Amino acid sequence: MAKTLHEQLVGAWKLVSYVEKPTDGSEPFYPMGTEPQGIIMYTPDGYMSAQLMRPGRPAAICIRRLVPRHQRGGQGRSHGLYRLFRPVPHR
């Protein structure tokens, strides 16, 4: 029997790209560089956690003491509940 979308989604996934494509047709933008690092995890009970970063960032363990504020960017994270919706065809 085929797995449901939820069953296929559960697990850990590695980020392979992060590209912002402007709707005005201008050039794509790579906020975390062209080779970002990241992972997103989905649990069977509806929770998710995601972390992504620009390669070459300083180690997070000492970032506040050793890295000037203007050089601390290049990372993002999110967590919380997720819910899947049945797709609706566009007309």
Inform me whether the pLDDT recorded for 35 exceeds 80: yes
Global pTM? Answer: 0.68
> Is 25 within the bounds of a domain?
no
> Is 88 within the bounds of a domain?
no
> Is 91 within the bounds of a domain?
no
Q: What percent of the chain has pLDDT over 70?
A: 76
> Is 24 within the bounds of a domain?
no
- Integer angstrom CA distances of residue 40 from 1, 20, 31, 48, 79: 26, 18, 17, 7, 9
| Whether the Cβ atoms of residue 54 and residue 33 lie closer than 8 Å to each other | yes
> Is 45 within the bounds of a domain?
yes
> Is 36 within the bounds of a domain?
yes
> Is 87 within the bounds of a domain?
no
pLDDT in tens, 45-87: 999 999 988 887 665 555 455 555 545 567 788 889 988 887 7
Inform me whether the pLDDT recorded for 40 exceeds 70: yes
Give the chain's mean pLDDT: 81
Domain extent at residue 60: 5-18+30-81
Number of domains in the chain: 1
Q: How far apart are CA 12 and CA 10, in angstroms?
A: 7
> Is 59 within the bounds of a domain?
yes
